[in-house]
Structure formats: structure tokens, C-alpha cells
Structure 1
Amino acid sequence: MGLVNRRIRTLLVALLPVFVLAIAGSLVTVPFVALGPGPTFNTLGDKDGGPVVDIQGVPIHQTSGNLNMTTVAVQDGLNIFDAFGFWVDGRYGLVPRAEVYPPDVPRDKVDESNKADFKQSEDNAELAALHYLKYPTVVKLGSVAADGPAHDALRAGDQLLSVAGKPIATSQDVVDAVRGAQPGTVVPVRLRRDGAEQTVDVKLGARPDDSAKGYLGVTPDETPDGPVKMTFNLSDVGGPSAGLMFTLAVIDKMSAGDLNGGKFVAGTGTIDPQGKVGPIGGIQYKMVAAREAGAETFLVPADNCTEALQHHPDGLRLVKVDTLNTAVDALRALDAGQPAPACG
């Protein structure tokens, strides 16, 4: 009997580290997050009963195929076993948590910033598409700084017609009109307020970030000059990288023919109102998500091409784009059976 008890005690002593490791592995979190393929959405399709890109006020053309935006999934709060499982999986990568959620920034602030970036991508997509389609826009003042040089002369809601003699058709025109002017320069501003046109003079102040340059102290808001209204119906998505695919969806819906040739195209990339395509993060995971969803062509921001070539899935054609024009031209070339700019 004593021999049996000794064996049991020996076994328990031997298993104790295993039990401790199991408990620690399931309870102790690690300072890493797992990044992997996230959901992908067809910007030409529907979600939750409505169009992902809803355009009202102008004729809309029928579309077919896919123009999918892609996302990266972030898995947080990992324990040791979770982290090991994601590492073994191969579709995920582990990165320090601080790279995604800076320790000095509350989690809700990070989420709020991501949502703001996503809203900006929607606004930029609308403007980039309207500019490409030569659709007229107007520039109104979204706000006037209370302590800025224009606070006595301009009001929120004023439509800007010209600044310093230069016609205003886009928000960038406002920046260009005062670029190079010295603080203290008086510039005439032609505007429309309450249906009537008038001209006011504004003495430029010094920019807070560069005292040698003048500024108006206003926030221009560029909108369509007509009844068109766009709504982008995706919730719980953050970041700026949907801009390019949203823009292409708007163009496809507002013009005849299929940009994608009726095929499955996916992609990513930021965009600015002038149509410049910018790089994004996590492209290797976005390509996996696209390929698993059925994409055969993936639009890659030019600055992401090197990384994309190192990780792209088999069977996925990588098309290099740096502007909205090159993206549209590339899709039309592929539809016509012609070569398109490629990564590498």
C-alpha cells in the first residue's frame, strides 16, 4: 500500500508543472495580437438588405461581377495557447500589441480614430469619383475658425466662388489660392450667401504650423453641385483603405459598362480627392481573403507591390495602381484582353 501511495505522489509531483502550465497558458495574456484575413465586401453588391454603395438623384447603371474591398482581422486578448495556435495556422501573423493599440491611447480612442479614417475614405471616394466623371461640385465653408483671420468676414455655409481672383471648384483650389501668400496679405473672396453674390476682403493670418505662410482659417467642404447623394452602408469597419474600391464602385454605377468585365476583382488602397492611390497595411492578409473569396485580380497600391509579391497567393493576378486613372485604365485593358501594369 505504501508503494502505491509513493507512486501516486510521484505521479502528482510529475504532473504538477503540466497543470500549472495549462492554467497559465489559458489565463495569462501575451503582449501580441494576431493579424489575418478579414471579411471582404462586394462594393457593387448589397449588405443587410441595402446597397453597399447607395447612389440617389442620378441615373444608375446595372453592374455585374465583383469589386471587393478587403479588410484585416485583428485578434486581441490572446493567451499563450491562442498565440501558438495562430502562429501554427500560417494564415495569421503575430505583431506586438503596441503596434495596433498604442499603450498610451485608450482602446476606444483607437476605434474612434479608425472610424474617422473610414468616414474620410468615404468622403474622398465620393469626390474622387465625381472629379473623374467630370461631375460639377461646389465648395462651401464647413466651418470658420472663431479666432481665425476670416471670422468677421466669412460664415459657415458660404459658397466660395473665387479667392484672390482664382476660381474655386474644389477644396484644393482654396489651398492653392493662398499658397505662397504672405501673412498680412489682403485677398478678395467672392462668395454666394443666401442666394446673393458678394465680395469681401480678408487679411491673411499666419499659419499656426508655419508663420511664414498665410491662411484663411476656414474648412472648405466640397459637395456635388446637384441632386446626387451617396451613402456607404458598411458598419463595424475602420481605417482608410477602402477608398479606392469605393471610388471604383461609384464610377461603375454612374457610367455605362462594367469596369471589371463582369469578373471578380478585389483590391485595396487609400485615395484622396484628386485620385491619388496610397499604400495600406496588412496587404498579405487582404490578398488571402480576396483569393479565398474567389478573386482572380487584385489591385495593389504601387508602394505595396514589393510586399505583395513576397506573399501573394497562387492564382491571383496583381495589378499595380498609383492613381484612379491607372486603376480604371488597367481594368478596361484586362476586359479587352490587353496587358495591365503589374507588380514586379
Structure 2
Amino acid sequence: MRRNNTNVPDFLLMGLTDAGEIQLVLFVLFLLIYLMTMLGNVGMTLIIQLDPQLHTPMYFFLSHLSFLDLSYSNVITPKTLQNLQTSNTHISFIGCFTQTYFFILLAATECFLLSSMAVDRYVAICNPLHYPLIMSPRVCHALVAVSYLIGFIDSSFSVLFMSKLHFCDSNVIRHFFCDTFPILALSCTDTHETEIIIFTCAVSTLMVSLITIAVSYASILSTILKINSTSGKKKAFSTCASHLLGVTVFYGTMIFTYLKPSKSYSLGKDQVASVFYTIVIPMLNPLIYSLRNKEVKNALLRVMHKKDTSM
């Protein structure tokens, strides 16, 4: 970003609250969530890497989801913890726009990774005989690469247009991290074009990934309903339950926050939603995909057993 675009030296993050007692409670709570996020996602990644039985497309995507959640949490939570602990809530222009860039990149990538996981479930249930051929390692790597590429394009376009804005007077960001709408609200120039770019990127990302997920699960539901046995239906549905729950939680908060005009931004409601998808969801995903998954539990037991026998 060009420094001559602004008359203010840096940004000041407003944070979640000014009350010292509440800040202390939030610091302890967010620190515990952050530690659980690190432990859960690193643990999930290690289990998938160490157990050969989990070297399948489903867990290949899940390992990348854990990586995204780790990165996601590290982009937002450490700075939030620092701001809650100290009275210095300043963030440099480069630091602010870097945070925004990686936040958009990781969020957009996760959208398309979740849609890739839906396609994987569709092939596994609707075309089980051709599953190894269709979901080959080459296809899986391509889907993940495309997810990261789309995230890179989304974040690059959004931050490029935001960096051209002028900031003249206030430097107080009414949020606990450098999100797009609060930054746009500070600009002393017309943000209409930038808002259109960001809104278009957000809508395109969410809608394309959501349509992919919806079509996949419509086909899955149609196939499950044709299964005669109750146990067969239950088994087929159980393979999708964790992913459906993860998708509902992630997309619900994203749509609530971003698929609306920036003028309807509400500090209180949007901050609650933002806390959920930037800090809480990265912790929940390992729990969602492990607690409801017998394969992950069995893999953990096998890894622990190997460790005990090797000692």
C-alpha cells in the first residue's frame, strides 16, 4: 500500500470492550480457545499423517482444513490477545492490510475446500465403484490447488482496491481486527467502486461454493433415499454429518456478516459473528470431525498404541 494515500500514521483497533474486568475474562477465554485450536488442529494433522488408513481423499482435504484453521487463528487471535492484555491497540498500515489480505485468502480458500469435500462425499456415495478413479491423488491435489488459487485472487483484488483509498481524519477501526467494512468506513474518499469489488468477490466465492455443496448434497440425499435398508441409510448419512455441521456453522456466520451492504454494518452483532468465525470455528472443526468420526478415534488409538509399543 502506498503511504501517501493517508494523513494518519497507523490504525487503532477499537477492540471488543473498554471494561478492564471483561477484557481479562475475554483474554483468558480466547487464550484457552487459541491453545485448544492449536492442539486440536495440529493433533488432527499428525493423526492423518501418521496413520496410513487415513491416507484417503476425505482426510487429505481434512488435513488441509486443519492447516487453514491453524493459519486462520494465527492471523487474528494473537493480535486480539495482545490488544486485550495491553492498552496499546495500534497496528501499522502494512500490518493491518497484511492481516486483511490473509484473512480473505484463508476464508475464500476454506469456502472452496469445503465445496471440494462435498464433491468428495458425492462421489463416495453416488459413484462408489468409480470413487478411486474419480478422486485420484491428482484430482485431489488439483482441487486443493484451485481452492488456494481462488483465495489468492479474491484477497489480491480486494486488498489492491482497498489500498488505493485515502484515509484523512480518523484512524480508529471499529472492530477487533482489520476487517473490510470497518476499514472502508474510515476512508475519506468514495468507496463505492471498492465496495462493489469486495461484495462481488464475496458473493461469487460464497455462492459458487454453496451451489456446489447444495447440488452435491441434493444428489447425495436422492441416492440415500433410494437405499432400502435403514442401516445403509444411516451409514451413508453418517459419512456426511460432520461435514454438513461444519458447513452450516461456517457459512451461516459468513453470510450474516458479508452478504449485505457496508452501511448496514452493526458493531455489536457483527463483532459477535466475527468472534465466532475467526476464533471459535477454528477450534470447533477438529472437534466436529473427530468426535463424530469413528475412523479418527480408531486412528488415534492406533497411533497411541504404536507409540506405547515402541517405548
Q: Report the TM-score when normalising by structure 1.
A: 0.25
- Per residue, is there more helix in 1 or in 2? 2
Query: TM-score, normalised to structure 2's length?
Result: 0.27
In terms of Rg, which structure is larger?
A: 1
Higher relative contact order (CA 8 A, sep 6+): 2
